[in-house]
Chain A
Amino acid sequence: MKTLAIIVGVAVIAIAALASMFVVDTTEYAVVTRFGRPLRSYTTPGLRFRVPLVDQVARIDARLLMTEPPVSEYLTLDKKNVVARAFLTWRVEDPLRYLQTVVLREAAESRLAAVTGSEIGAAFGSVPFEALVSTEPDKMRLGAIMDQVEGRVRETAAREYGIRLVAFRIERLAFPQQNEASVFQRMRAERQRIAKQFRSEGEEASLKIRAEADRERARILSEAERKAAEIRGQAEAEAARIYADALGADPDFYRFVRTLEAYDKIIDKDTTIVLPADSPLMRGLMTGPGGGR
């Protein structure tokens, strides 16, 4: 009986000791509350103690958390509708304040989402559409806009909810569903313009190459003709010089020979020659031997 009393006593003490101990994990914070009133908070991991039955332990996720506010539509300064999908990464910084103001993560997320939505609205509303989407680096300010929203939300989150906003980022930009058709229409028109430009460029380049080829051909041929004429001219000149050298030695005899050659060429079968009977050729025939002059 005595032994049983000892065993029961040890058991009670052990249970009480176990009930007063709790572990704070590295992934969480713990706040000890007594009848709902926060007593103290633990932000580092380890074995902690409380008064059993009286003290409650509230555990709060200490990790980096991600929240996706609902996707919504915003209006830029130049009245263009843009759909933005954003996300936030955040941690609880002050567990006591967090516990007092938001209690549950869902509540924290919906409040962060609300603040973020209105900050995005304000930021987008103060810039033209080109600041969000532009190929010109000096107009593009998406990074700066994200930083601006991040700064504002961070301030509110820290002050109101004990939350440290790590980052705000825009994950996606899009046009509203009802604008899509007109965007596609515009894209199509732009493509048609580019296609037309390519085709006329092709035609232009082709004509140019062909014209150049034709011109080059004409140049090559006329140069060849010039060269040929030059060669012929030189040959004629050279030939003339040769004739002149040879014939110049006896001009009278040349005249005689050349005249005979000319007769040979001029007179054909249709030519009629009238020979006087006393011509040197005929005289011999007509008058017989010895009659010649």
Chain B
Amino acid sequence: MRGRVAQVLALLRRPAGGAALAVMLLLAYGATGFYTVPATSLAVTRIFGTIVDASVPPGVHWWWPRPLGQVDRVEVTRTFLMPVGYFLQEEIQRRPSPAAESAWLTGDTNILQLRARVNYRIADAAKFLFDAEAPPEILRWVAGSALTEAASALPVDGLLTSGRLALIERVRARAQELLDGWGVGLQILTVNLESVDPPFSVVTAFQDVQNARADRERQMSEAETYSNGLLPVARGEAERKVNEALTFANRRLDRAHADAERFTQLAAEHRRSPALLERRLYLETAERVLPRVRRYVLDPGGDGALPIRIVE
């Protein structure tokens, strides 16, 4: 050790040697100033605490090493996630996640379990690094606050069904507006509502409303089915009745025409020889009728009593 100090002192006695050592030390110090910026990042350089370049692009660069200067890299292309209403797995060690964390009041004073996720990116590296103590944590609270503001103006049924998109858009716009006003350097990309559930102890009651809604739909569709089954049959029946009437009408007219025709021909014959035809018709009728009846012939020879002879 003593030998080394003596050597250095000896070196320093020679002016050239001292200068060489100083240059070597300076070069060694300067060499620690090279740094790389990954493709996903930007770097911010400071000297004596003052920001010099707030967006050093990816690549290899040189900057004054500590204690004169400082370099900070920020991942500006990455999308970060921030849970709202619950904690990530790695956070749970630090903070327990009670059910209350996801309980929100709705405008009609119901309680809903809401879990949302905010996707964000770092929009301003310098602001993100130096302007706020914990930008992501601020983001979580701001998003929670925007969710409270929106949820406490909406009814529970809206939140459970059609109101989700409106809620998400309100939360996103409101949270971004607040963050921009505070200069936190974060940009919200999207807000996702991961789950919307009634609290555990009233789940069955909410489920029953779903069932009742389904029952309503079912009853209505059953009635439609009944109606759809009934009306075509009725239309068929109606068609049948009309067709029957048409068939009857045709038959009736055909018969009328036939009868009329027959009579007209008969009448023509009658005009030619009335007595002959009348006699023939009379006898024909008698022939047809008399064989089937029980007939009695009354002899006009008796006087008062009826001497009857059966001609059977």
Which residues of chain A have a CB within 8 Å of any CB of chain B? 3-4, 7, 23-28, 44-47, 61, 63-66, 68, 87, 89, 129, 132-135, 137, 140, 142-143, 166-167, 169-175, 180, 183-184, 186-188, 190-192, 194-199, 201-203, 205-210, 212-214, 216-217, 220-221, 223-225, 227-232, 234-236, 238-240, 242-243, 245-247, 249-250, 253-254, 256-257, 260-261, 263-264, 267-278, 281-282
Contacts and interface: CB of A to CB of B under 8 A. Distances in A.
A282 B49 contact: no
Given A188-B202, A228-B245, A275 B296 contact: yes
Interface of B: 9, 12-13, 46, 48-51, 67, 100, 103-111, 130-134, 137-138, 141-142, 144-145, 148-149, 152-155, 178, 181-184, 198-199, 201-202, 205-206, 208-209, 211-213, 215-220, 222-224, 226-227, 230-231, 233-235, 237-239, 241-242, 244-246, 248-250, 252-253, 255-257, 259-261, 263-264, 266-267, 270-271, 274, 278, 281-286, 288-290, 292-301
Q: Which of B106, B131, B213, B263 has the most CB of A within 10 A?
A: B263
Nearest to A218: B234
B212 A257 contact: no
Contact of A224 (B137, B242, B289): B242
Given A195-B208, A214-B230, A271-B293, A243 B259 contact: yes
Contacts of A206: 219-220, 222-223
Nearest to A217: B234
Contacts of B278: 256
A249 B295 contact: no
B271 to A, nearest CB: 8
Mostly, the B contact residues are helix
B160 to A, nearest CB: 11
A228 B233 CA distance: 17
Contacts, number: 320
A209 B264 CA distance: 59
B237 A23 contact: no
A46 B49 contact: yes
Contacts of B104: 172
Given A23-B49, A170-B145, A256-B278, A228 B133 contact: no
Contacts of A220: 231, 234-235, 237-238
Given A196-B212, A249-B264, A271-B294, A263 B289 contact: yes
Nearest to A265: B289
Contacts of B105: 133, 173-175
B275 to A, nearest CB: 12
B153 A137 contact: yes
Contacts of B206: 191
Contacts of A23: 48-49, 67
A272 B145 contact: no
Nearest to B283: A281
